[in-house]
Structures are given as structure tokens and as C-alpha cells.
């Protein structure tokens, strides 16, 4: 049956006029253009390292406790440091950070010494930070460390844990 249809199609095109062939070719081009336009619309736009992504990792035991903790200890936050570089970021590290930024929001800032620091997460609880650190290490950043901030300023992690107790 396939062969029969194929033969009929070949006969049609052998007898077709130049005008019919030209019209058909234009229709095919229009079809290709519309298919390409749809494909371009469906392509994900390239993301940047610092695109707004949100971390969805939070645990709460009860709403009452969460409100109390948030009010009492809102100044201490934990982040996972995924890199710190003075000067140009090495190519391998940049690739790892870009890869991580597909999964998580990666932020960067420059400290008072001119060191560029890359972090992920913004957690209120140290145990959550430990879990996120393990996840980030599994995602390819082997030297990820937990860092603590109080009112936006970096502090020693042990000091932060004492303040939170």
C-alpha cells in the first residue's frame, strides 16, 4: 500500500506544472518558518548565574513556634559559601557555579578585602544549612561551607550557633 501511494505521488509531481511546484515550495517554506517560530518560542531562554531563583527548602514544626523564632532570632541567617575568589574566577569554578545556578539561586558580593564570594541559600536554621550543604556537595561543589551572617554582616559560625541557642 505504501508503495502504491508513493508511485501515485511521483506521477503527480512528474505531471505538475512549474506554477504548481512553485506554489507548493512556498507553502513548505511558510510551514518551516512557522514551525521554526514555534520552536524558538518554546526554547528556554539562556539563564544567567544571578537570575532570581528561589530556594524552597524550609521546615517548620508549628506556626506558633516559627513566628516566635522568626521574631526572636531574625538577625542570624546561614548561607552555603560555594566559592571565594580574589581577582578573576577560575574557569572550572565558574562552570561549577553556573551549573549550580540552574538548580539554586546563587548570589555574589565583594567583601572589604576585595574578595568575591558566591553563596547559595538563605536559611534561618543551622540544621537546614547542614542539609543544604550536603545537597550542594552532591551537586558538585565539594568545598561548600556553611557561613553565618548577622544583620547582613558575616560572623563566625560557632558564634552564630551560640547566639541562636
d(Cα 120, Cα 136) in Å, to the nearest integer?
9
Q: Which of 28-42, 74-88, 95-109 has the lowest mean pLDDT?
A: 28-42
At a CB cut-off of 8 Å and minimum separation 6, what does 152 contact? none
- Mean of the per-residue pLDDT values for the chain? 78
Region 130-153 average pLDDT = 88
Question: What's the pTM value of the predicted model, to 2 decimals?
Answer: 0.54
Residue 52 — pLDDT band, cuts 50, 70, 90?
A: low
- Position 68 scores a pLDDT of 44
Region 145-155 average pLDDT = 87
CA-to-CA separations, 73 to 51, 58, 112, 126, in angstroms, rounded:
28, 16, 26, 12
- pLDDT single digits (tens) 86-139: 888 888 888 888 888 888 889 988 888 888 899 998 888 888 889 999 998 888
- The answer as to CATH 3.90.1300.10 being correct for domain 63-164 is no
- Position 66 scores a pLDDT of 47
Every domain of the chain and the residues it spans: 2-42, 63-164
d(Cα 37, Cα 99) in Å, to the nearest integer?
28
**Which residue did the predictor score with more confidence, 81 or 60?**
81
| Cα angle value 66/68/69 (rounded, 5°) | 65
- Position 97 scores a pLDDT of 86
**Which residue did the predictor score with more confidence, 139 or 63?**
139
Residue 158 — pLDDT band, cuts 50, 70, 90?
A: confident
Amino acid at each position: 500500500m505504501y508503495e502504491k501511494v508513493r508511485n501515485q505521488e511521483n506521477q503527480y509531481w512528474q505531471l505538475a506544472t512549474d506554477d504548481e511546484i512553485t506554489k507548493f515550495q512556498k507553502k513548505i517554506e511558510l510551514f518551516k518558518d512557522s514551525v521554526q517560530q514555534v520552536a524558538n518560542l518554546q526554547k528556554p531562554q539562556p539563564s544567567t548565574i544571578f537570575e532570581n531563583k528561589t530556594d524552597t527548602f524550609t521546615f517548620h514544626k508549628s506556626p506558633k513556634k516559627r513566628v516566635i523564632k522568626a521574631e526572636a532570632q531574625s538577625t542570624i541567617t546561614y548561607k552555603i559559601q560555594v566559592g571565594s575568589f580574589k581577582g578573576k574566577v577560575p574557569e572550572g569554578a565558574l562552570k561549577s557555579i553556573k551549573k549550580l545556578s540552574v538548580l539554586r539561586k546563587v548570589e555574589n558580593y565583594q567583601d572589604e578585602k576585595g574578595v568575591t564570594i558566591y553563596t547559595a541559600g538563605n536559611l534561618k536554621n543551622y540544621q537546614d544549612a547542614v542539609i543544604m550543604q550536603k545537597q550542594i556537595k552532591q551537586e558538585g561543589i565539594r568545598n561548600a561551607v556553611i557561613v553565618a551572617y548577622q544583620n547582613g554582616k558575616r560572623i563566625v559560625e560557632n558564634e552564630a550557633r551560640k547566639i541562636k541557642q
